[in-house]
Structure 1
């Protein structure tokens, strides 16, 4: 089959590599220009570079505009494959190929449509995540499913570890989907729209710790926002600090949400929701980083006690 690739960042590059390694012909690649956006810069392996290394014509554009549509049409594709494309694609484009357009989304649809699905899955307490290959339609991540591969979310997994593991699902899932198309054995599975969940783009505000969350939720939150992602943060004595390592306290505590209560297990316990009842676990913070980039042990840094707050005070 003749394939056109639409993709960006490391997801797009790994998808293009899988297509190159397949038995099919990649006739054209479309990608976004390099971006300085904080999230787009995290996994920034170049699709353009890989395409040029293999002599594949490549087009850089922010949007699927009239020029892009015309260039794709000239290649006479059998299928378009999309992964990590940030802007809307019109029906004129995704319905153009003989087999339509396949989109790769790193969640088990219909759950976690939208943005940063792996991080949100870990933050929300999901037990598994994965990769879905589905047919593109007129909404975001809602088309009929062709292939799904899943992985468990382990009790100590970080967001970065899960993202990398999810990327490794791309070649096998994509090859399975392409084989189904080329062999005529496709079995499309409509999504249950009532079960759909959507998550928005993450920004700096979304990394701020909410001390009204349970300690179990906050511990996952800290693990989800692992390097190179913007780390979980709060404010202590007027200074923004990043929480790098944490766990759930062994004992139960009472007090006020955000209060540094006591040392435990090499760190300090910060109280959470309904702390006044005295029957909840707290977040045990063992390692933090200050604005100057210096890392500190939780027990030493918080030795003066006090409160962690939503803003500098």
Structure 2
């Protein structure tokens, strides 16, 4: 089949590589310009560079809504468009243009976690598995019929970085197996159960600010979700920003006020957590490694030289 590819960052790069390695003919690539957004500088393998290395024409766009792009797509005469990590809305006149429609590849187990940063949100929420879905594009974002879906388990100590490496390896098999079904003439696929659909926004600074009213189990997952190279979860101590790089849920249960720097336990320092911490039924978050505002990274037991005081959400 003649394939046009829309994609960006490493997800798009892996998709394009899978297409180049396949029996299909990649006739045009559309990608975004480089970005300085914190989350878009991560996993930023260039789709444009890969296309150019293989002699495939490239168009750079923020949005696919101009007449020149539409005319180039018409001239490319695609059987199918394949999209992965395209960051803006693709209008109907684009996704309906190919003879066999547009296949979107998304790094979640749709219908859950449509939208942005699905791995981070899924880890924070304690999901037991994550994966990749290839679905036919329609008018609603990430809502079309599922062509192919594969999953991997989430381990008890996995970070988002671990999950990225697990799921990015699914892109090639999911994409090529889905295209094989389309090439064989299959047109009936699995409708999504829209009653199970969830849609998430882009991550921003406010999303990594620690709220000590959260249960310790949720905070521990937040810290793992914001693993390097993602921006680290942060709090404030004595008015200065403090990044929490590693933590575990405490073995003991600690009562008091959320955010209280309370007790050394093992290799960590326990912070009281949970909106109902006053009951004494909650585990705390045992912080084991921190980074200070001036960039020093050190064990929490060295940073917290005495117990007492509070970690806060604001300076």
Whether 1:225 aligns to 2:226 is yes
Residue in structure 2 matched with residue 93 of structure 1 by the alignment: 94
Is the Cα–Cα contact under 8 Å of residues 258 and 307 in structure 1 kept in the other structure? Answer: yes
Deviation, 1:186, is 4.7
Q: Contact 1:215–1:283 (CA<8 Å) still a contact in 2? A: yes
Distance, in Å, in 1 between the alignment partners of 2:9 and 2:185 is 31
For 1:184-215, what per-residue CA distance to the aligned partner results, in whole angstroms no more than 9, with x for missing partners?
24541111111101111100110011101111
8 Å CA contact 1:146–1:186 kept in 2: the answer is: no
Inter-partner Cα distance in structure 2 for 1:105 and 1:92: 21
1:66 and 1:291 mapped to 2: Cα distance? 48
- 1:151 matched to which residue of 2? 152
Residue-by-residue CA offset, 1:245-280 (whole Å, 9 max, x unaligned):
100101111110000101001110000111111111
Counterpart CA distance in 2 for 1:37 and 1:310 is: 23
1:31 maps to: 31
Q: Deviations over 1:165-200 (max 9, x none)?
A: 111001100111011011124541111111101111
- Structure 1 spans left out of the alignment, 5+ residues: none
CA distance in 2, matches of 1:127, 1:211: 24
SS at match of 2:310: strand
In structure 2, distance between residues paired with 1:101 and 1:242:
42
> 2:309 aligned with 1:311, yes or no?
no
Q: SS at the partner of 2:289?
A: strand
- Specify the alignment match of 1:241 in structure 2: 242
Q: In structure 2, the residue corresponding to 1:262 is in which secondary structure?
A: strand
Match of 2:291 in 1: 289
2:138 and 2:186 mapped to 1: Cα distance?
A: 20
Mapped partners of 1:69, 1:200: distance in 2: 28
3-state SS of 1:160 partner: helix
Q: What do the CA deviations read for 1:90-136 (whole angstroms, capped 9, x no partner)?
A: 11110000110000010000000110001100000111110000011
Distance in structure 1 (CA, Å) of the matches to 2:293 and 2:18: 40
SS at the partner of 1:69? helix
Contiguous gaps of at least 5 residues in structure 2:
none
Q: Tell me how far apart the structure 2 counterparts of residues 135 and 219 of structure 1 sit (CA, whole Å).
A: 36
- Structure 2 CA distance, aligned partners of 1:39 and 1:181? 33
Alignment match, 1:18:
18
Please give the per-residue CA displacement for 1:274-295, whole angstroms capped at 9, x wherever unaligned.
1111111000000000122111
Instruction: Find the aligned partners of 1:286 and 1:268 in 2 and give their Cα distance.
Output: 7
SS in 2 for 1:246: strand
Deviation, 1:66, is 1.7
Aligned counterpart, 2:63 = 63
Once residues 42 and 126 of structure 1 are traced to their aligned partners in structure 2, the CA distance between those partners, rounded to angstroms, is 23
**Per-residue deviation at 1:300?**
1.7
Separation in 1, partners of 2:141, 2:40: 19
Matched position secondary structure for 2:44 = coil
| TM-superposed deviation, 1:296 | 1.5
Secondary structure, aligned partner of 2:19: helix
> Do the aligned partners of 1:114 and 1:141 also contact (CA within 8 Å) in 2?
yes
**1:189 corresponding residue in structure 2:** 190
- Alignment-derived partner of residue 44 in structure 1: 44
1:260-275 aligned within 5 A: 260-273=261-274, 274-275=276-277
